[in-house]
Structure 1
Amino acid sequence: MRTVGVEEEMLLVDMQDGRAQSVQGQLVLRSALQDPGMAPAVVEGALEGELQREQVETQTAPSRDLAELEEQVRYWRGEAAEAARAAHCRVAAIATSPLPSGPSPAAGERYAWIREHYQLLARQHLSCGLHVHVAIDSDEEGVGVVDRVRVWLPVLLALSANSPFAHGEDAGFQSWRNQMMTRWPSSGPTDLFGSPEVYHALVQDMTATGVLLDKGMIYSDARLSHHYPTVELRTADVCTRVEDTVLIAALSRALVETAAAKWAAGTPAPQVPSTLIRLASFQASRHGLKEDLLDPLTSRPRPAWEVVDDLLVWVRPALESAGDLPRVESALGVIRQDGTGADLQRLTLERTGQLVDVVAQAVRVTAGQE
């Protein structure tokens, strides 16, 4: 069974007014000084900084069992929450800051280069994603997977949508983070590669332009990790509910397993132009599961839950083989009944009328308090 691990980017916020707070360095320093022997034996991973000082990133170790993955996610969220309290702030697993914020750049030569070359884009950018790493056996298999999962990634975006508010107002999108990511020149869906040689040649050409600093700045929806033997799926918003995080991880692993099997059998990758996949991502970003999604294969509008059901049919053998199907069906049932993270944020605002309450609820859920 393939291993799966996740990276969660989260906001650091002031609990008095709900605004993003610049204290990242204190959290990362505390994590570095902590005795690693204090962590449970089953838990490995990291707590790290990000582009802006109002962000922190947690990373789990690779896991084969979803229960173990969930334990790791909860542990590292707890570590982040404890470190944040020591720095007089809180952690919120939401993909954009609902309240106005002026991001503060993190220290380091790499981030300084990004700020210099991307100017206002880098100065304004403050968003949090969920990145899922799934193990692969080779670059050949990995490229076969990237070519075959690309059409399904807008569905993961719709399920994870968790950024309806930004700059103190309703953005009119379920995932405003996705729209923010489209500003970066290397983001979004990729064309079909067909072989690792074509993939690596394009990566080399992209970095040779000087527009990107390095391979780490290739922000495509799916890519071969340049650190680990994994495919990295990057389209999802960070999820407030841990159960949603585990759901996206489970579906990601099942998509990779299904795609790898199709590649091994010689089944051609869907010949869907990247332009149409970009439109599918826009539709998912705009409406989440509230309106139609675009069918992954025909690119025509269809009821969102029919498309989700098609995804479940597509990956069902992989989910059954891993023993993940009951957990996935249960988590999808919760979203079908209660809504996505974006839906819950809007319900909170409708109930209280205060964006600070949206942030406060996200803090409580992130910390496992409700």
Structure 2
Amino acid sequence: MNLQMPLGSTASWETSTSLTCGIEEEYLLVDATTFRPAPFAREVRALAAAEGVDAHAEGTLYQVEVATAASGDLLELRDELLRSRRVLGDAAAAHGCRLVAAALPVLPPEGPLRLNFDLLRRRDRHERFGLLSETLASCGQHVHVGTLGVADAVRASNTIRRWVPALIAMSANSPFWNGRDTGHASWRTMAWSSWPSAGPPPYLTSVEHYEQCVRTLIESGAALDVKMVYWDVRPSSGWPTVETRALDVTADLDVSVALAALCRALVESALREHAEGVRHPACPEELLRLARWRACRDGLEGETLDPRTGRETPARALVEGLVEHLAPLLAATGDLAHVTAAVERLRLRGSGAARQRAAFERRGRPEDVVRLLAEETAGCG
């Protein structure tokens, strides 16, 4: 990978960023024998809490979520996630389950989907949106970068949105759903896009424009509240951060951390360009949607559209272009070697979606896919 930057680029950025990063990861629980989703989230969370890991409830009883502390050192976040995965894995084993960093259930649960109604708003959401609740049994990785005011979070969102197809391709880890190959590398992203408040964020011209977009979603009934603004990138509803939500959770912890590093560098890039008066034309939403879909379908091993130009390009080239663009910032924070190693690791091993399909092709059994995911989660890739 050529990491030489053209004149006038970010190559002159020498100081280290002060931005912090926090990572949320959602996991599935599967029965250790049948490999189908197992509804033991409450029990697993309780055992994990006794070991000092505060796992959160999600939309179904098959899921648990962890959130790291905010930190400027992404290797510290890796260590925190590693411990959380191990503690949750042990808690799952105590209930006859395995912890799986899978973005979707490879096999369907036994019986009807077990939704989690521990909060009244979750019941209200189900009553309003009906069968869209079937998509709740999906697991993503969310990256928070801060501390930011709303204006800076809006600017960062505008920068990150045009790189969402590259991030989706790199994280794609959900080709199977309910026992079938979906024909997409990231079916989670496609399924989640069915929510009326999900998908690519609009290009936001101001804080007032952002607030008006949120009001329209709520007043139209497309969202219950600001927490249901499910855009791929958004100013966080609860923290002074910009939150990237487009990523599939991945079993490979080093890839997970590399994605977080890229998100943080994109935010830093946005803030510096704004301070320097650099302005980029808004990527048209129709082009961004097409590029995003191609990234979801083809994944890292296929083609997508470069949302900056509209031209078809290998997804790997788009990812490598993103790394090259951000190389000076990644070097300043000490993250460049980790990111380039993770990208090379994906090149050699294949993406999460490609590895799942390879596991299935050996015997044609979806159970083998779940077994692979469970083993990679336990070994963290």
TM-score by length of 2: 0.91
The aligned amino acid for 2:61 is R
Aligned to 1:114: 125
In structure 1, distance between residues paired with 2:43 and 2:334: 40
* SS of corresponding position for 1:288: helix
- CA deviations on 1:85-126 (whole Å, 9 max, x unpaired) are 222211100101111234201122121111101111114542
- CA deviations on 1:332-357 (whole Å, 9 max, x unpaired) are 00001111101111111122332112
Aligned to 1:155: 166
Deviates more, 1:261-270 or 1:154-163: 261-270
The Cα RMSD (Å) is 1.5
Percent of aligned pairs with the same amino acid: 38
* Pick aligned residue for 1:60 from 49, 68, 74: 68
> 1:5 touches 1:132 (CA, 8 Å); kept in 2?
yes
The aligned amino acid for 2:95 is A
Aligned to 1:243: 254
Report the alpha carbon displacement of residue 220 of structure 1 after superposing the two structures with TM: 0.1
> 1:145 touches 1:263 (CA, 8 Å); kept in 2?
no
Deviates more, 1:242-251 or 1:205-214: 205-214
* Pick aligned residue for 2:243 from 210, 232, 235: 232
In structure 1, distance between residues paired with 2:113 and 2:134: 7
In structure 1, distance between residues paired with 2:189 and 2:221: 24
In structure 2, distance between residues paired with 1:304 and 1:28: 37
Aligned to 1:264: 275
Unaligned runs of 5+ in 1: 37-44
Change (3 A) 1:124 1:313: closer
The aligned amino acid for 2:344 is G
Change (3 A) 1:323 1:172: same
In structure 1, distance between residues paired with 2:176 and 2:256: 20
The aligned amino acid for 2:291 is A
In structure 2, distance between residues paired with 1:12 and 1:30: 14
In structure 2, distance between residues paired with 1:59 and 1:124: 21
Unaligned runs of 5+ in 2: 1-17
* Pick aligned residue for 1:7 from 24, 29, 32: 24
In structure 2, distance between residues paired with 1:135 and 1:355: 40
1:327 aligns with 2:338: yes
- CA deviations on 1:174-205 (whole Å, 9 max, x unpaired) are 01101111100011112211211211222123
**Runs of at least 4 residues off by over 6 Å:** none
* SS of corresponding position for 2:133: helix
TM-score by length of 1: 0.94
In structure 2, distance between residues paired with 1:346 and 1:123: 23
In structure 2, distance between residues paired with 1:137 and 1:212: 24
* Pick aligned residue for 1:191 from 193, 202, 207: 202
The aligned amino acid for 1:149 is I
Report the alpha carbon displacement of residue 258 of structure 1 after superposing the two structures with TM: 0.8
Residues 1-370 of structure 1 mapped to structure 2, 5 A cutoff:
1-32=18-49, 34=50, 36=52, 46-101=54-109, 102-108=112-118, 109-368=120-379
Aligned to 2:9: none
In structure 1, distance between residues paired with 2:349 and 2:217: 42
> How many residue pairs were aligned?
361
Aligned to 1:41: none
